[in-house]
Chains A and B, each alone.
Chain A
Amino acid sequence: MPAEKLLLLGVNHKTTPLAVRERIALSGGYEQPLATVKGLPGVKECYLLSTCNRVELLLVMEPDSGVEERVVEFLFSGRVAIAEADQYLYRHYGRAAVQHLFKVAASLDSMVVGEAQILGQLKEAYRHAARNGTTGPLLNKLLHKAFSVAKRVRTETAIGSSAVSISYAAVQLAKKIFGHLRGRRVLLIGAGEMAELAAEHLVGQGVDEVVVANRTLARAVALARRFSGRAVSMEELVAQLQHVDIVISSTGSPDLVLRRDEVKSVMRRRMNSPLFFIDIAVPRDLDPELITLDNVYLYDIDDLTSVVEINKSERDREAVKAGRIVEEETLKFMNWYGGVAVTPTIQALKRKLDDIASQELERTLAKMPGLGEAERQQLARMTDAMVAKILHDPLMYLKSESCAGRDRSDAKITLVREVFGLGSDDHEA
């Protein structure tokens, strides 16, 4: 069969538990796995995306070359049994592969739908593949298309504006209380991962300073250095409250870390300027009674989740719009793809007939030395006309399908190639 196949296979956070994804994660960077996959016989082009939520390989391969199984073997490389791997792995061919890629690029397949990071990761992965020469004309076109689809989704829908995550919700609440966050200060109590993530979001919104309080000072110092902030001990907590505006608490402490009376005493010294507490610890760190103080706002993890829920319903509406854009772009791409597969076949067919005609003409002319220039040209014109007339019907046959589905055009290309004995070598012309 002449036409190459597009295959996308991989695992993501939806199909595969973290424990399995960890074993697949390609820690050694992109270069080595890309080279290995490209080296497999039957692989024409390849591209690899590896993030903490997904590992995906996009291949242009010779059909029936058996390369698919070898790629799967490589991906799990003995760390996961193939039989087990099959239940996690998804494989998309042709149109479905294109659609999946577009969805991923548009952040419709992300854990946090609408988050912008994935596009950057996609571009990074593409840079590696392009630099290593593992992508070809088809994947180059396809990936650039994916980037522009992502951009279109971002500008035409509001999917990015209400990204859904706890730390995003924290930022949203903080903005509802303070307006903008420039010049505000954050105090992290406990140096957990969630607190770090929330702090990162807040710093991204222009928060001025990050202060970290932790039981083990070394960890506090390390985290503070990340945000070029400062570390304090847990004993200084109440004193620090006077200087900060946002407090994120996430200690493992079984008891309350801050009580209502402590905060109340600080409010007077703060001239009542608002204090925003986020308690993401379980069990809780902060006295629930804090909320009864004027100008003090306290939210625990459940409250933030309810903000997330509001955003979700809003986002779901936008996701429908985004899905339609992806659908539309997939269709456009497949039409283009169908067109290019036909073109090389037409070229190969033309070349073959032209070659035959010119060879035969030369041979005939060699046997008839007495012919004048005018007669020679007459003969040449005759063979050209014959070639053109023979070509006419097969070309019409091939071209008529360029707007039909990919599957039918595949069959037609195959038929024409087999009838005229066109080798697959010509195909990449």
Chain B
Amino acid sequence: MEDFTLLFFRVTLVTAFLAAAAYMVHFVAQGKQVRTIARVLMILSGVLQSGYIVLGFAIAGHTPLTSQHDAVVFFAWSTSIAYLSFRWRYSVKNFGTPVSLMIFLLLLVASFSHKSFAPLPPALQSVWLPIHGGVSLVAYGFLTLAFCGSLMYLLLERELKSKRFGYFFARFPSLGALDQLNHHCLLAGFAFLTVGIVTGSLWARQAWGTYWQWDPKETWSLITWCVYLVQLHQRLTVGWRGKKAAAMSVLGFIGVLFTLWGVTYLLGGVHSYAR
């Protein structure tokens, strides 16, 4: 079974790579055929990631979230789902390129740590695990999209302001579309993040008898949450948008990454993944 799981993961990884490569080719050459291929590969990659998670669930008997490998795969899957859910409603020119690259990179990171087949420690055997862990990682998925959109915004804005219309000018979507995308992804990501933190707190009350115990991961997700809260507040009250909002999204995403990895590797605590 372990061999089959590994094979399945590799196929998923290769598909994600091909999707990213096809999007890259499309980005450079702007051909319509390549775009169609890239889209199909992207959807296929999303389906395979879903399949891999279902497979993990079938083997372990619980949602695979507890190891570094599983969490990062779930993160990649959330990003795919967030992207496809957006793609369904409106398209943003060439947005697939950075997102497919992010998904591939996440899966690549996951490939460096092995899938754990060890039984779940008793503290984690709870219905809260998929709710708290899953929702938090779905939030990360949307925040990843906001990050990608923000990077594109910053690059394009720089070209427009410096009046040197180069490579990105022809290829990127409009600033308006990127800003709107950032806004939507931020709203969705922030909502999921809030639910993730609240459910985590409820679970902590149930498991340890206290809502909040300043575990490093709790602290850092609170900091990240505050960064997004400030951005959202400013946007809704004084119309912070564009460059400032994009810069804040990038900052928030660094917080996300630190919460995910920095905490595990540098600070430890109850959220550290079994490695």
* Chain A residues close to B by CB (< 8 Å): 173, 175-179, 268, 270-274, 291, 294-295, 297, 299, 303, 306-307, 310
Contacts and interface: CB of A to CB of B under 8 A. Distances in A.
Given A271-B238, A272-B241, 18 more contacts: A173-B160, A176-B156, A176-B160, A176-B169, A177-B176, A178-B175, A179-B173, A179-B174, A179-B175, A268-B238, A272-B238, A291-B161, A295-B241, A295-B242, A297-B160, A299-B163, A306-B163, A307-B165
A303 B242 contact: no
B163 A177 contact: no
Contacts of B177: 179
A371 to B, nearest CB: 79
A177 B153 CA distance: 10
B165 A272 contact: no
Given A176-B169, A272-B239, A273-B241, A297 B174 contact: no
Contacts, number: 51
Interface in B153-174: 156, 160-161, 163, 165, 169-170, 173-174
Given A176-B160, A177-B160, A297-B160, A306 B241 contact: no
Interface residues of B, number: 20
Contacts of B238: 268, 271-272
Contacts of B244: 294
Nearest to B163: A303
Given A303-B163, A306-B163, A310-B165, A176 B242 contact: no
Interface in B166-199: 169-170, 173-177, 180
Nearest to A174: B174
Contacts of B160: 173, 176-177, 297
Contacts of A291: 161
A241 to B, nearest CB: 15
Given A291-B161, A303-B163, A179 B176 contact: yes
B224 to A, nearest CB: 24
Q: Taking chain B's interface residues, is the majority helix, strand, or loop, or is none over half, making it mixed?
A: helix
B242 A272 contact: yes
B243 interface: yes
Contacts of A274: 175-176, 242
Contacts of A273: 239, 241
A271 B179 CA distance: 14
A42 to B, nearest CB: 53
B15 to A, nearest CB: 32
B240 interface: yes
A286 B175 CA distance: 23
24 contacts: A175-B174, A176-B156, A176-B160, A176-B174, A176-B175, A177-B175, A177-B176, A178-B176, A179-B173, A179-B174, A268-B238, A271-B238, A272-B238, A272-B240, A272-B242, A273-B241, A274-B242, A294-B242, A294-B244, A295-B241, A295-B242, A306-B165, A307-B165, A310-B165
A272 B173 CA distance: 20
A303 B160 CA distance: 10
A381 to B, nearest CB: 66
Contacts of B242: 272, 274, 294-295
Nearest to B162: A291
Contacts of B163: 299, 303, 306
A183 B176 CA distance: 13
Nearest first, the 9 A-B pairs at minimum CB distance are: A271-B239, A179-B176, A272-B239, A179-B174, A178-B176, A179-B177, A303-B163, A295-B242, A177-B175
A219 B160 CA distance: 33
Contacts of B165: 306-307, 310
Contacts of A297: 160-161
Given A271-B238, A303-B163, A178 B243 contact: no
A272 B180 CA distance: 14
Contact of A295 (B169, B174, B180, B243): B243
B89 to A, nearest CB: 15
Contacts of B180: 179
Contact of A270 (B156, B239, B240, B243): B239
Contacts of B241: 272-273, 295
Interface in B42-96: none
Contacts of A271: 238-239
